[in-house]
Chain A
Amino acid sequence: MHLPHSTLKQEFVKKWIMGLQRCKFSNKNMSIFERKKAIKLSADTAMASARKGLTCWSRALISTPDRSAVPTTTRRASLACKKIVKRSRRIRRTAKCGAARKRQITRSVAQCLVRKRTQILKSLIPGGEFMNEVCLIEETLDYITSLRVQVDVMRSLASASVRASEPHN
């Protein structure tokens, strides 16, 4: 990681606290869903701003107010890919092809699979639909590290609050 993990964590934590403090003044009685949304939103924004606008996904995350639920397109995509593979096998059987033709078919199949995967990845990464492949992979790298930081911080906080709540009972 070109950014040390610990500094990213500290940045994220600071900004998250700031964001949560802001939320406190807005609405006193919030349902659990709203709280969850607010927490997640502030966490996401904190994570994105911790990157200081260096990455594409952070800017996209800040500019769009909300992210929908995680899409579950992998299964559909894998089914589609299986169909493609079957189709290519049929073609291979019917065509009287030499070695070059077989290579072409496998190559096209592989390209199709890769293309499907990149489409899915683009839908996952915020702002990913507008990137070319090179940028997409870089953004993925960055996004994964930031997500890890976020998960670490939130998990430790959750465990801390769990531990904190125990003596109250």
Chain B
Amino acid sequence: MESNAGATETRSNVTVSDGGEVAAFESLQFTDEIHRLISAPATDNASSFTALLELPATQVVELLHSPESVKLIVASAPNVEDFKGSFHFPSNTGLIQKDARFSVFSGEGNNKNDKSNSPEMTSKNSSANLEKAVKSEPAETASSLPLVSDPTVENRNIKRKDREKKVKGSTKKSKPATNESLEDAEKLPYVHVRARRGQATDSHSLAERARREKINARMKLLQELVPGCNKISGTALVLDEIINHVQSLQRQVEFLSMSLAAVNPRIDFNLDSSFTSESGSTMDGGNFPSLVTPLMWPDVQVNGYRQQFQHQWHFDTLKQPIWGREEVCNNYVTPENSLLSYDSSANSATLHANQLKMEL
């Protein structure tokens, strides 16, 4: 994962060199948008996906506003050539790495990058640098996605194929070869669109691209949340892991509720048995949180969850005979079979359900 580490480093370099680049930005015609990006609220919480929601929303708004300017820049190649010469940014390896996928502006051998992923890309021009810098700044503000993950990038490679126009063979070659350069670019759809030449610039594909990038951003958050997903590449496998995780959690809830029902003869077990034995005080809701918080188990990985749960389960099954509740044992051991017979008790449950929901 050296390339990933390099990408994260380079992105941190970008924030440092922000000030110098802002001055250079002003000569561009899309400076106002860039300033808006720079002044975008930084998300403090690294894993806050709702904060992330704000960022793409503004981007989509920008996207809708700027397709005309986008078309101008994309369509007029000579203008782009002019831009190339006017900006020379400091050799920022991060930017250059991100340049790797935009070999559309061919010809200029501004190859300052020595760790370029694709050797065939010689076109590292400053305008592409500029666009990368613009992309990377909001990437910094969106601190919730600091990591570059190969899986989502490769996933994007797969998904991008239908977006590609067959303009240049070099463009095609560049796309599979790049990795983390895609990552930051995805966060800013409208900037992304500006950079790409030969891409469809109608509102449909723009909006579609924005939507796809939103989805990929959320998927990354999911990958961080579900343990063991960071190393997986490809959307399908990541979704597999997520599905497994959700299913295992749901099953754990089922089994735990079953064990709780088995442990106590009455429904309000926690108010009577646990508290009188543990705290020796009268029952009320206030005691329970204080009692429970010292018992809270830390979040562990999925394997940890399963193991702990299994230990708990075996422990309970051992305890059952001691308590003399043998009739429960058989049911407990075969929870899957017992699940099927729950339908018979559905009627009583629905009554409770209505009551509960009204109360809550």
Contacts and interface: CB of A to CB of B under 8 A. Distances in A.
Contact of B235 (A6, A110, A167): A110
Contacts of A137: 215, 218-219, 221-222
Interface string A107-143: 1001101101110110011000000011001101101
23 contacts: A22-B356, A26-B355, A31-B345, A33-B345, A38-B267, A110-B235, A114-B235, A134-B211, A134-B218, A138-B218, A141-B221, A141-B225, A144-B226, A144-B246, A154-B253, A155-B256, A158-B260, A158-B312, A159-B312, A160-B274, A161-B269, A164-B278, A165-B323
Given A117-B239, A124-B243, A154 B257 contact: yes
Given A35-B267, A159-B312, A167-B277, 10 more contacts: A2-B50, A19-B360, A21-B271, A33-B345, A45-B353, A69-B340, A134-B214, A141-B225, A144-B249, A147-B249
A94 interface: no
A5 B297 CA distance: 12
B312 A143 contact: no
B209 to A, nearest CB: 13
B350 A65 contact: yes
A74 B270 contact: no
A114 B236 CA distance: 5
A37 interface: yes
A60 interface: no
Given A121-B246, A151-B252, A23 B158 contact: no
A131 B259 CA distance: 34
A19 to B, nearest CB: 5
Contacts of B342: 33, 36-37
Interface stretch (B41-49, B97-105, B135-143): B41-49
A70 B250 contact: yes
B295 interface: yes
B266 to A, nearest CB: 7
Interface residues on A, range: 35 or more
Given A23-B268, A134-B214, A167-B277, A70 B297 contact: no
A34 B45 contact: no
User: What are the 5 tightest A-B residue pairs by CB atom distance, in nearest-first order?
Assistant: A117-B239, A35-B261, A36-B261, A113-B236, A164-B277
A46 to B, nearest CB: 7
A146 B281 CA distance: 30
A32 B259 contact: no
Given A121-B246, A156-B297, A165-B319, A138 B49 contact: yes
Interface string B158-178: 110110001000000000000
Contacts of B257: 36, 39-40, 43, 154
A22 B359 contact: yes
Interface string B286-323: 00110111011101000001001100100110010011
Contacts of B256: 151, 154-155, 158
User: Which DSSP category, helix, strand, loop or mixed, fits chain A's interface?
Assistant: helix
Nearest to A24: B268
Interface string A8-21: 01100111011111
B360 A15 contact: yes
Contacts of A116: 236
A95 interface: no
Given A22-B356, A45-B353, A17 B161 contact: no
A1 B45 CA distance: 8
A120 B240 CA distance: 9
